[in-house]
Structure formats: structure tokens, C-alpha cells
Chains A and B, each alone.
Chain A
Amino acid sequence: MAYSEKLIDHYENPRNIGSLDKNSEDVGTGLVGAPACGDVMKLQIKVSPEGLIEDAKFKTFGCGSAIASSSLVTEWVKGKTIDEAETIKNTDIAKHLALPPVKIHCSVLAEDAIKAAIADYRAKTAKKDEIKDAAE
């Protein structure tokens, strides 16, 4: 099976591998898995007070397509607002990397991971606001 150059590049030189402090208030963590293939993906975003994604990191244990998909997403979301990042579709990822049909589910994993990270960040901010409101 022939893989695209972009895919191989992201697989061989993955961007933004690593972790952010999951307990930090400005960090959202998304942890998702695809049990059928045993893949697990962690994607984290660091969000500025203005709602801009300043940094993104990932850690993926899975096939090359899953690693490339998460690497690409961390690159795409940097500098975007969380609302913009939320609109990323798995089809965009699959198209950009020219994923073969049997690997489309890897891009689904990456979309779900960024959505989960954003949801986690929003839940944290909502909680913070509640505490602030209660204190006032």
C-alpha cells in the first residue's frame, strides 16, 4: 500500500510529541481510544485567556496513521481559537494525509481527541467561573 509523503513525514517526524500539565487550569486534555485496534491517543491544548490555543501536545500509541493524524491536528490547532479548532473534521485530516480507506478511523480518533480536549478545557473554565461566582 502506498502512503502519501505528508503521512510519512508526520509519522517519521511527528510534531509536538509530549505532555502538558493536565492539572493546570489552562490545559484541556482529551483521552480517547479505538478498542477495535487497541489504539490510545492523548491530545492536550494550552489555551490563552483570550481563548487562543497557544500550545498543543500529543502522545499516541497506535499505527502510523493514528500517529500522523494526531501530529497533524496539533499542528493545525496552534494559533486557532477553540471554536475554530472544534470545527476540524476527520475528513479534512484524512484528505490532507491521503489516508487509505482502511485507516479512516485513525482520523476519527484524532477528531474525537481534539473535541475531548476542548470539552475538558471548557468544563474546567466553567468550574472556575462557578467558584468565582460563589465567592462574589
Chain B
Amino acid sequence: MDHFARLGLPAALDLDAGALDKAYFAQQRLWHPDRFVAKPPEERARASIEAAAVNDAYRTLKDPLARAVYLASLNGVEMPADGKTIDDPDLLMEAMESREELHEASTIAAVDTLAAKARDDMKSALGGLSSLFLANDRPAIRKALLRLRYLDKFAEEARARRTNLEAKG
């Protein structure tokens, strides 16, 4: 059973956050260990497996990028596994240049400007995914998701850089 089906939700890129939370809490209650205390061991074991799967589904679907990557995998888009490298020059040049800019940013304001741009880029890239999924354009979906991975990493690094600058005061 895929993560969407497990929570009884349509397999879609855009999920209503409220509906997701509601479905998750309902499933969590359903498989809660308290309800299985007096049940035979097989049922208790099954409940704990189900509860873990529900948690896993929720974690994946709650994050927009993780959800997009997951939906892509359901649609047959293969992402590079851990330890696999890519050599897409446009994407890597963009990643390299933005990381250089961040490295050189010496004030919190400069870091915030770069982080805001990365957030905007992520938002528009996520927005652009819908039409790619509609057309089931797998190579384009893969490319967009790889770029989103790098933007996400950039946002993470920008947060770390900001904390670092704040500590220096």
C-alpha cells in the first residue's frame, strides 16, 4: 500500500494540510498500542507495524519536497540513489555559484536576501511541478526535483550560516 492510500488520500502533489493531519491522527488512533494491550500477540505486532507505516507515510507526505519525490517514484521517475553522482552542468553551475555567494555573504542581511531568493525559487519550482506531472514528463520531473534538492540544501546551509553570523554578533 502506498503512503497516499494508507492515509486514504488522493495521490496528488497538492495535499490539503488539514486533511493530511486529520487522516494521520485518525489512523494513529486506530493503531494505537493502548487499544491492543489485551489483544493476542499477533494483533499487537500487526498494530505496531501499521502504526510505524502510518508515521512513515505522514512524515513523507507532510514535507512538500519529500512528497513530490515520493509521488515521482510512484510515477516511475528514478532519482539517483545515495552515493550516485550527476553531471548536469546547468544545475551544478547554479548550485556552485549560489553556494559561493552564500560563502561570501558576510552580514545577516546578505544571507537573508539569498535565503529569500532560494525560497522563492523553491516555491516556483514546486509550483511548476504540477504541469510536469500532468504531462507525465519524467525527465523534466527528475531535473526539477534534482534542482529542488539543491535549493533545499542551500536553504539549510543559509540557516547554518545565519546562526554562525549571529553567534559572532
Query: Count of A-B contacts with CB under 8 A?
Result: 67
Chain B positions within 8 Å of A33 at CB level: 85-88, 91-92, 95, 150
**8 Å CB contacts to B: which residues of A17-63?**
31-38, 40, 42, 59, 61
| In the complex with contacts A31-B96, A32-B87, A105-B153 CB distance below 8 A | no
Interface locus among B10-18, B46-54, B56-64, B76-84: B76-84
Contact residues of A: prevailing secondary structure? mixed
| In the complex with contacts A31-B96, A33-B91, A108-B150 CB distance below 8 A | no
Indicate the member of A33, A38, A108 with the most B CB atoms within 10 Å.
A33
Please, how many residues of chain A have a CB less than 8 angstroms from a CB on the other chain?
A: 18
By beta carbon, the residue of chain A nearest B97 is A40
Please, how many residues of chain B have a CB less than 8 angstroms from a CB on the other chain?
A: 27
Identify the B interface with A (CB < 8 A): 79-89, 91-93, 95-96, 99-100, 103, 146, 149-150, 152-154, 156-157
A-B contact pairs, 21 of them (CB 8 A): A31-B89, A31-B92, A31-B93, A31-B96, A32-B86, A33-B91, A35-B80, A35-B149, A37-B82, A38-B149, A38-B152, A38-B154, A40-B95, A40-B96, A61-B95, A61-B99, A105-B83, A105-B84, A108-B85, A112-B85, A112-B87
Identify the A interface with B (CB < 8 A): 31-38, 40, 42, 59, 61, 104-105, 108-109, 112, 116
